Structure formats: structure tokens, C-alpha cells
Amino acid sequence: MRTLCSCGVRTVNILFWLASMTSVNVPSKKKSKKKADLNTNTASTTEKITPIILNTDENIQELLKSESSSFENENVRLNFLRHIANILTSKNQEKCSSDSNIFCCLELIMTEFLKASKSENSNENKAEKKLLNKCLLTFLQQKLAFGLYKRVLASVTDVISCLERPLQLSDFLFNSFKMGGSVSLLSLNGIFILMDKHNLNYPDFYKKLYSLLDPAIFHFKYRAKFFSNLNLFLSSKYLPAYMLAAFIKRLARISLYAPTHALVPTIPTIYNLINRQNACKVLINRTEGQTEYSSDPYLPDEVDPVKCCALESSLWELRALQSHYCPKVAVDSRKVNQLKKSQKDLSDILETTTDDLFANEIERGEKLKEVPVNQSCPSGILTKQDMKYSFWRVE
């Protein structure tokens, strides 16, 4: 095998060599001495290959994941962390390192570190956690590419678990939330964890969350994760009815602009929210007070959910969706009129696509004995009657 320091060594060869070095069997008779020699050998090995892996210009994420078992070795993790810390604090960081490769290593290290911390027979390594904490905080202070920035936010749960003082991440998450778009959606989970687990005081959280309910969310890559988190964020029994009603009404309103596949998780989310507060059931069946309005009292342009008058309105939007061309959407919209106490499970429908809906309709159609068709076979796209109207022009 070629030397590790040679310029032509491929990353994959280095990784496989690292894997072989960390999986050597230690004889039981000379266990302590051999184990010490093995740790020294492994440390020496990773000392040589770590700079090559971290400084390469290639995208080695898939290669690193294929050799993730190498990071089960504590010495390997420590060596990587030491090199990452040196690179991040170096003045020439931009010239000699790849942020993407560094974070990929940090992801693998965090995963194995959390596994080791949860193990019954393993004591938490304070030195490793301290070094990992330093690397994470220093890395988050760098100017990251937009795609990598979103990757960091997607892994924020693990990042929080690895920090000694998770509240140090609050400024990073607040700044991310102010950026808007998909970055705001991804930062929500981290902010909520800090509020729920670490007593972060953020009184405008639900106001900010309400502002994200825009038709554009149906087209974001992380739409499924957002709806999963939204269902979690609004699960508290202590939320007032007017606050919950504001989110229900806002979801119903933007549903009128949603693509068909996005309505599949949206309507059950509305179903769950109504079920959590009996006071919100007036939105579908108001028996007291004013029951008829000349216009909708809801204020869609109001940014404060407290002042949007949602509880005085009704869910006429769901009535409109009951006439939707997609049978599943129409059926789901009618189910809201027949509420049950149980909550709908969203896990299987969050990732629904248009292809899924089409496949379900094809499968349902195969079970039908009679399928409605035209009474007479059409001879073309346009009929003679269509040609009478001035807005048709055939060239």
C-alpha cells in the first residue's frame, strides 16, 4: 500500500485502512499491553490521515458515512477533534480546510459520542465532550455556505445534546430565525428544545411561528419536518383557545392556495388542533351568539395571532375543500365535521407526493366494477360548440 502522505492516495483507501486499524482483535492473555499498543497505533494512524481527510477538496460525505464504524473508537474521535480545533482556530483556515468535510466528521463524532454517553457500561468522557463543545461553538462562528448552514440547522438536536451549555446556541438560532424562508423553519426545532428543556425565555415564539404560515411553506424542501414540528409545538394543553384558533384558521386559509399533495397532511393537522380545545369547535359548529356574517371577521393580514379575530370566524375554507377534485382531499375535509376524540397520526402522510395520490387512485379504480365514462366518444379536444366562442383560435 502506498504511503499515507503521498499525494496520490485516495480518500477511500485511507478510510478503509483506518477501519482495519480500529478493528484489530486483541488477544485475551496480553490484553492490557496489546490494548495500549493498539490505542497508540490507532492514534498514530489517525494523526497522519486526519489532515488529508479534512483538507481534501473532494466531497467525501458518502465515503465517511460508509466508514462511520471507525468513529466508534474514542481515540479516533479525539484525534479528529484535536485536528478540527486546530484548523478552525488557524488563521489560514480558508486555504487549508473544507467546512463541508469538517461538519461531516462532526456529525459522525456527535452520533457516536451520544451513543457512548447513553451506554450503560460507558462513563461519559468529559475531555471529549469539552473538546467537541469547543469545536462546535467555533465552527458555528464561521461564515458558512447556505447549503451547509441548513445542514447544521437540520442537525441542531444533536448539537444541543453535545453542548455543555445549550443556551449558548440561542443567538445562533435567533439570527437564523430572522433570515426567513426554509432557514426559519429549520431553526424552530432548536428554539423549541431550548424553551422546553432548558428554560429559554422567548415570549414571541408563537407570534413568529404564526408568521411562517404562508402558502410558500407548501413548496419548501423541509415541509414535512415543519408540519411534524408544528403538530408538536401546538400540543401544549396550556395554549389559550384564541391562540390555537388563530393557527387553525390560518392553516385553513392557506390551504386554498396549496397543491393537492400538500393538503393531505394539512387537513389532518387542522383536525388534531380542533380536537385539542373544545372551545375551538365553534369554528365548525357555532350554536351561540352571532351565527351569520356578511363578511369573514378574520383578519388575514394581522401579524399578531391574538388580534386576528380567528375565534369569531368559521372554517368555510374546509367547506370549499369538500368540493375538491381530489377524492381524498374532499373526504378528509368532510371528516372534520365528524370529530372524534382521537388524534390522527401524521407520520405516514407527511411525505405524500402527487405520484402517491395518483397511485392510490389507480389502485382504488381497479377495485371498481363500473367506471363512469362519457356517454358519447369525443372526436377531439374541441367540439363544434367550443369553436363558437371568440376566445378559441385554431392555427
Domain boundaries, the chain: 40-88+99-114+126-202, 205-286+296-367
Closest C-alpha to 80, from 57, 118, 107, 115:
107
Cβ contacts of residue 269 below 8 Å, gap of 6+?
A: 227, 230, 231, 251, 346
Please, what are the averages of pLDDT over each run of 10 residues along the chain (395 residues)?
Answer: 39 47 44 49 62 70 72 82 85 57 88 81 71 92 89 92 92 90 89 90 89 90 88 88 94 94 93 89 76 81 93 91 91 84 83 89 76 72 65 60
User: What pLDDT is stored for residue 24 in this prediction?
Assistant: 41
User: What pLDDT is stored for residue 77 in this prediction?
Assistant: 85
Closest C-alpha to 104, from 130, 79, 80:
80
Give, in order, the Cα–Cα distances in Å from 7 to each of 4, 56, 59, 62, 383: 8, 11, 17, 21, 72
Cα angle value 220/198/269 (rounded, 5°): 35
Structural contact between residues 182 and 153, judged by C-beta atoms closer than 8 angstroms: no
Ordered alpha helix ranges (H), 163-285: 170-178, 181-198, 205-211, 223-233, 241-255, 260-276
User: What pLDDT is stored for residue 365 in this prediction?
Assistant: 72
Residue type, 282: V
User: What pLDDT is stored for residue 152 in this prediction?
Assistant: 93
Calculate helix-pair angle for 74-89, 99-118, nearest 10 degrees. 140
Query: Cα separation of 128 and 312, whole Å?
Result: 56
Residue 310, helix vs strand vs coil: helix
User: What pLDDT is stored for residue 97 in this prediction?
Assistant: 47
Query: Cα separation of 286 and 313, whole Å?
Result: 9
User: What pLDDT is stored for residue 387 in this prediction?
Assistant: 63
pTM more than 0.85: no
Strands (E), the chain: none
Cα angle value 297/216/210 (rounded, 5°): 50
Q: What is the grid cell recorded at 39?
A: 490505542
User: What pLDDT is stored for residue 386 in this prediction?
Assistant: 65
User: What pLDDT is stored for residue 373 in this prediction?
Assistant: 72
User: What pLDDT is stored for residue 245 in this prediction?
Assistant: 94
